[in-house]
Amino acid sequence: MKYILSFFLIFSSSAFASDYELEKVISGLTKPWGMSFINDDELFLTQKTGEILKINIRTQEIINYEHDLKVVSPHWQAGMLDILYHNKEIFVSYTELRDNDQTSTSIARGVIDGNKFKTIENIFQSEPPLWDNIHWGSRLMIKDNLLYASVGERAQGSVAQDPSNHIGKIIRINFDGSSPKDNPFAQQDDWLPEVYQIGLRNPQGMALNPDDNEIYITNHGPRGGDFFGKVVPGSNYGWMDVAWGGIDYDGSIIGDGSEWKPGLLRPIYRWIPSIAVSDMVFYDRDLFPELENKILVTSLKAQQLISLEFDGEKAANETILIEKMGRLRDVDRNNAGEIFVIIDDDDSGIWKLVKK
């Protein structure tokens, strides 16, 4: 019965909800990547080109917060990445230029002083630095005053199984960058102490579920095998011993072709073929009652905003809310329940979800 249900979830066709559209509220952005609300009117936003912007979506005011982070000049997937606002501070993830032109997924913490940073400095650098310029991750989330971050496997494949590096992992750190003593492998010499979960490929979505106070992620599979799943301490999603139902881009089999193996954490929901799943948010407001308690998910390749029902164990009833609007990179909501998305484009902006 479990295998029949899994098949249905993967291959059931999605309905299209034609009663939504996107209304552009901010113009003139370049390759926006992440956003985080300060209040109902203001948010912080990153652009892959390196900027950290504070934007008022009502007055249209945009303020550039200058910094000296060593952000790689944007190309393809590299650049300034996610941002998270918390208690008059921000955390940003980005592609950092290291020695010998190598790079890492790094995290900085900025203390805000009015319309500028009082300080902004690195608190984390993924190790080891590498030359490969894809699969950075990288989303940020706070739970119980600890910072969680996703780090992509940088096209290194099975290195995601090696606990002595940060590649293809979820990391969990204190706000100063130190490692919590209760991390699952903090006391093991052969594990980096920040490592919380292993075996990921390119996790570009992360969100806290208000119902169970647990963190969930979305992860890019190869050709097929994108998934939504839970962050579980000490667990392993299996990349690239398994590919979650996907195959390599040349059509070859990954590992022995298994979608899952005993001992590995099983994804909750998968997309085959891949949609290039990006960020997500649990919608817990009543402005859109039909979306309440659902997950909103963005996709890049499929250019869709999707809703999923989720009961804490199973996800089902995928519905397309928006499609063919561009590569949807991020989705978020403010406390009032308004829903906003950003699109990965050179001539971009911020869009608000509205009913027709």
Judging by beta carbons within 10 Å of its beta carbon (0-12, 13-18, 19+), is residue 282 exposed, middle or buried? middle
Q: Measured between alpha carbons, how far is 210 from 71 in angstroms, rounded to an integer? A: 33
pLDDT of 161: 96
- Helix then strand count (H, E) for the chain reads 1, 25
pTM for the whole thing? Answer: 0.94
With residues binned 3-state (H G I as helix, E B as strand, rest as coil), the percentages for the chain, rounded to 5, are 5, 45, 45
pLDDT of 198: 98
Whether 158 has a pLDDT exceeding 60, the answer reads yes
Q: Measured between alpha carbons, how far is 72 from 82 in angstroms, rounded to an integer? A: 14
Length, in residues, of the chain: 356
Question: For residue 36, how many other CB atoms are within 10 A of its CB?
Answer: 19
Sign of CA dihedral 207, 173, 335, 48: negative
Q: Measured between alpha carbons, how far is 105 from 13 in angstroms, rounded to an integer? A: 36
Kindly report, residue by residue over 53-96, the tens digit of the pLDDT.
999 999 999 999 999 999 997 677 889 999 999 999 999 999 99
Mean pLDDT of 125-135: 91
Structure tokens that stand for 259 in this block: 């979608």
Poorest-pLDDT segment among 9-18, 78-87, 271-280, 300-309: 9-18
What is the three-state SS of 213-262? CEEEEEEECCECCEEEEECCCCCECCCCCCCCCCECCCCCCCCCCCCCCC
Kindly report, residue by residue over 3-20, the tens digit of the pLDDT.
333 333 443 344 456 789
pLDDT of 295: 98
Give whole-number Cα distances, 159 to 151, 169, 201, in Å: 12, 10, 10
Phi, psi (degrees; rounded to nearest 5) at 343 = -120, 135
What is the three-state SS of 54-70? EEECCCCCEEECCCCCC
Structure tokens that stand for 310 in this block: 């989720």
